[in-house]
A and B are shown apart, each in its own frame.
Chain A
């Protein structure tokens, strides 16, 4: 059973002081349904990613809450949580339900309100993706974890802070023309290096911002799309997900994301493609170093060569493999539990030919979303060519 993407939407990413988790998700879901020409009554399954709502809102049971407020009480609803990869797990679950023949319509998405708490409280909540006893309680923050990874990588492969900064420069540049992006400003290598230190060697502009936002997508079976006369262009071609040690200290190679390598291999196999077939990708650049690790684990670059992508323009809009044409997490923003479907929204628009930073005629795109420091990873492959 082929799974089609009938509609997608993201709210603006940034600050939503007058909204709430339930309201913001409803906004994104209604817009995605309108994009799909479907109604809330059509939803059979609803999977919503949310990571830190228990801590920031004192509210769990987010699946039922958003189904209720969306007017979709008939739906089977569930929150998926895999740290920052929560929404990609939601998308994968929705696609699996349709592929299994259990449903014809699944609404998948994610939502996170992060400005409701202060910076230190959000830093603490995000650190829950790490090993609480061995890392969080020792004072190791998320920027700190990626800083440790960056140091090992830079030493091993002779990569500089300037090379890392090139990732931020590229993604900030892409963000300027994306209307939903949180950061709409240029930067340059010098500005990245001169921004305040967060965790050495990473500076503020090496790090994604704190973001409120929601994203949603409507997945339908090919049969349903036929019956309802939906003009779907993009199919959900394959998905991979894998795990690794929860704590960074337990990995044999600190600067290698094995979960991402395994997820990519599985997704490629299921989609019947190889890395060379991918035309455009949204990857998990929560920090500049993370995009470099991502493009290597996805097979776009040999190990140790990933920095070349941004430095030499290979991952630019006009490059060999455009990466994060949306501005990525660094510029578009990172509402943690929504990010994976936010990436899927961007890739769907690329494959439909309606992206603000449209690349030339892509037919295969993917999303790569990492939970924690790499303890989980989801890779979803989309393909142009619907019913």
Chain B
């Protein structure tokens, strides 16, 4: 995996997740950007991200790639943080989750590969 993603994942593992915010226009974004996707400004500041988010969409995958072929079916979640950014991860700790439910951000690693996860907060 790319070094920048490992850095994002390690921040989550350390309980210190991050996101980027444009100091000029306020637009939020995720690493590894150096240019604001909205105003093209160059002043993206790294800020601390919440550890909980709200489910915006979820799907259960029945046909997958070689890496996850043995693990189907599994559920993928896109969750939105109060800061405005979204992340994509696999659902843990529940069979299903509904749009609007609160989930907690996590990460799993086998040493080489890092996977973002979401677990229902309740």
Chains A and B bind each other: yes
**A interface with B by C-beta (< 8 Å):** 119-121, 123-124, 127, 132-141, 143-144, 147-149, 151-152, 155, 196-202, 245, 247-250, 254
Asked whether A139 lies within 8 Å of B78 as measured between CB atoms, the reply is no
Is B86 a contact partner of A140 (Cβ separation < 8 A)?
no
The one of A137, A144, A149, A247 in contact with B61, judged by C-beta atoms closer than 8 angstroms, is A144
Q: Are A138 and B59 also in contact (CB < 8 A) when A124-B66, A133-B1, A250-B86 are? A: no
From B37, B57, B69, B89, contact of A245 by CB (8 A): B37
Please state if A139 and B61 are interface contacts (CB–CB under 8 Å).
Answer: yes
Q: In whole angstroms, how far apart are the Cα atoms of A249 and B8 in the complex?
A: 16
Interface residue? B49 (CB, 8 A): no
A-B contact pairs, 7 of them (CB 8 A): A138-B89, A139-B61, A140-B61, A141-B64, A144-B59, A200-B59, A254-B78
Given contact pairs A120-B69, A123-B64, A245-B37, A199 touches B59 in the complex (Cβ within 8 A): yes
- What is the interface of chain B, defined by CB distance below 8 A to chain A? 1-2, 4-5, 29-30, 37, 56-69, 71, 74, 76, 78, 85-90, 99, 113-116
Residues of B within 8 A of A149 (CB): 57
Residues in A with CB closer than 8 Å to B64 are 120, 123, 139, 141
Residues of chain B contacted by A247 (CB below 8 angstroms): 88
Residues in A with CB closer than 8 Å to B116 are: 138
Given A138-B116, A139-B61, A141-B65, output 8 extra A-B contacts at Cβ < 8 Å: A137-B115, A138-B90, A139-B67, A148-B58, A151-B58, A198-B62, A249-B86, A250-B86
User: Is B78 a contact partner of A144 (Cβ separation < 8 A)?
Assistant: no
CB neighbours of A196 from chain B (8 A): 62
Residues in A with CB closer than 8 Å to B61 are 139-141, 143-144, 199
Interface pair A138/B65, CB less than 8 Å apart: no
Distance in Å from the Cβ of A255 to the closest Cβ of chain B?
9
Q: Which residues of A contact B87 (CB under 8 A)?
A: 134, 249
Q: Complex formed: what's the CA distance from A141 to B65 in Å?
A: 7
Task: Tell me whether A250 and B76 are in contact (CB under 8 A).
Answer: no
* Whole-angstrom CA separation of A201 from B114 in the bound complex: 27
Residue among B56, B62, B85, B86 facing the most chain A CB atoms (10 A cut-off): B62
Please tell me if the beta carbons of B78 and A137 are within 8 angstroms of each other in the complex. Answer: no
A247 CB to closest chain B CB (Å) equals 7
Q: Max chain A CB contacts within 10 Å: which of B4, B5, B58, B76?
A: B76
Cα distance A179–B58 in the bound complex, in angstroms? 38
